[in-house]
């Protein structure tokens, strides 16, 4: 069976004005579609479908997702895409078409690749990625959380003294060793459409009020972008092949019960192991999401780390399924 690298590269860029407050004219959604297409071509992916609300533009990509709101651009891509090739042209487009002149913050993260030898420049190693980003920004900070001889998760951020002052949080679950029966749902053999796969799996019940845009690939594979009230989102990407099964779930939704949300996702996909990462700044409701709350039914964590990057608390944990 052909191998596919489900592991995603995740890039988030926040923009602002240096000498004055942002106005209605400063809006990343003013970047023209043909410019987005050009930039995504540099990454080796393309837009498959899009959804828009008053607060957020969502794009399902041939390799994962792109979300754009007024001041933030978030893109995640899988496979052998060259995501960092998009950084400079995205910044140039934001300055040219949207009137921004300063970068408020940047976050780049990913889990260790399953087969790093298949990646292309500048993604051959995290050290190479750091060098690439430092050439663009300088003064950034890079972190590795987890076990260097096992599951490991990498993060690069600008490390600015002051950045995002609005409540902000991001939860990501990176799941592997998935239940084969669940994964079959995300094949054309079992589901005739993305909507059928969404309903059979129970993805539509994670946030019942979400506006969903789902895509079922041929012969297998699945992506969904969801827009939530007040411009929040969640996104799921699935590589169902048993030899390299992979599912990612990510959301910036604020909630008073993250363990309940996490358990809901785990109950759907039934992974054998997963990595959890959680960002929260001081204004976020999630800043009280503590170690005690990370006890999850049916799983033990073998690694748990917390660190503070400028303005954010970052939590990393690796879980494995308890023996039956």
Q: Is residue 294 part of a domain?
A: yes
Query: Could you say which of 64, 201, 245, 248 is catalytic?
Result: 64
From the number of C-beta atoms within 10 Å of its C-beta (0-12, 13-18, 19+), residue 170 rates as buried
The enclosing domain of 50 has a CATH number of: 3.60.90.10
- Phi and psi, residue 230, nearest 5°: 65, 25
Give the chain's residues under pLDDT 70: 1, 161-163
- The string of pLDDT tens digits covering residues 163-214 is 677 899 999 999 999 999 999 999 999 999 999 999 999 999 999 999 999 9
Position 107 scores a pLDDT of: 95
Q: What is the C-alpha separation between 124 and 9, in angstroms, rounded? A: 12
Q: How many domains does the chain have?
A: 1
Q: Angle, nearest 10°, between helix axes 33-43 and 87-98?
A: 170
Q: Is residue 305 part of a domain?
A: yes
Size of the chain in residues: 324
Q: Is residue 1 part of a domain?
A: no
Cα–Cα distance list, 58 to 45, 182, 232, 322 (Å): 15, 26, 11, 37
Q: Is residue 293 part of a domain?
A: yes
Position 149 scores a pLDDT of: 87
- Token readout for 64 is 């994962």
Q: Is residue 60 part of a domain?
A: yes
Position 282 scores a pLDDT of: 87
Q: Is 12 annotated as a binding residue?
A: no
* DSSP-derived 3-state class of residue 245: coil
- Token readout for 224 is 């969904």
Q: ∠ CA 218-81-2 to the nearest 5 degrees?
A: 45
Q: Is 172 annotated as a binding residue?
A: no
| Nearest residue to 252 (alpha-carbon basis) of 273, 281, 295 | 281
Query: Could you say which of 45, 78, 98, 152 is catalytic?
Result: 78
Does residue 163 carry a catalytic annotation?
A: no
Query: Could you say which of 86, 109, 201, 223 is catalytic?
Result: 223
Q: Is the pTM of this model over 0.85?
A: yes
Position 6 scores a pLDDT of: 80
Position 253 scores a pLDDT of: 96
Q: ∠ CA 111-112-116 to the nearest 5 degrees?
A: 135
Q: Is residue 314 part of a domain?
A: yes
- Token readout for 200 is 């059979």
Q: Quote the domain boundaries for residue 164.
A: 9-321
Q: Is 4 annotated as a binding residue?
A: yes
Position 159 scores a pLDDT of: 75
Does residue 223 carry a catalytic annotation?
A: yes
Q: Is residue 129 part of a domain?
A: yes
Q: Which residues contact residue 323 at a Cβ distance below 8 angstroms, ignoring those fewer than 6 apart? A: none
Q: Is residue 2 part of a domain?
A: no
């Amino acid at each position: 069976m052909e191998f596919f690298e489900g592991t995603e590269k995740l890039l988030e860029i926040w923009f602002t004005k240096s000498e004055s407050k942002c106005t209605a004219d400063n809006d990343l959604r003013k970047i023209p579609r043909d410019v987005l297409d050009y930039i995504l071509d540099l990454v080796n992916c393309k837009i498959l479908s899009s959804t828009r609300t008053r607060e957020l533009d969502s794009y399902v990509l041939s390799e994962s997702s792109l979300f754009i709101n007024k001041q933030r651009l978030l893109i995640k891509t899988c496979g052998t895409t060259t995501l960092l090739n998009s950084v400079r042209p995205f910044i140039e487009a934001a300055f040219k078409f949207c009137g921004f002149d300063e970068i408020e913050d940047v976050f780049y993260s990913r889990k260790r690749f399953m087969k790093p030898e298949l990646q292309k420049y500048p993604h051959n190693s995290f050290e190479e990625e750091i060098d690439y980003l430092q050439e663009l920004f300088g003064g950034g900070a890079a972190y590795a959380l987890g076990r260097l001889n096992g599951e490991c998760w990498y993060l690069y951020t600008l490390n600015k003294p002051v950045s995002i002052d609005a409540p902000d949080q991001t939860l990501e679950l990176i799941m592997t060793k998935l239940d084969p029966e669940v994964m079959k749902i995300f094949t054309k053999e079992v589901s005739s459409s993305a909507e059928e796969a969404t309903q059979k799996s129970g993805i539509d019940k994670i946030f019942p009020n979400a506006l969903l845009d789902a895509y079922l690939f041929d012969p297998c594979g699945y992506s969904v972008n969801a827009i939530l009230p007040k411009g929040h989102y969640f996104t799921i990407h699935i590589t169902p092949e048993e030899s390299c099964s992979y599912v990612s779930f990510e959301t910036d939704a604020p909630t008073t019960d993250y363990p309940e949300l996490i358990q809901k996702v785990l109950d759907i996909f039934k992974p054998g192991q997963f990595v959890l990462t959680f960002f929260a700044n001081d204004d976020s409701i999630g800043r009280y999401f503590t170690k005690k709350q990370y006890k999850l039914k049916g799983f033990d964590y073998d690694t748990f780390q917390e660190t503070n990057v400028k303005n954010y608390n970052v939590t990393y944990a690796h879980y494995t399924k308890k023996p039956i």
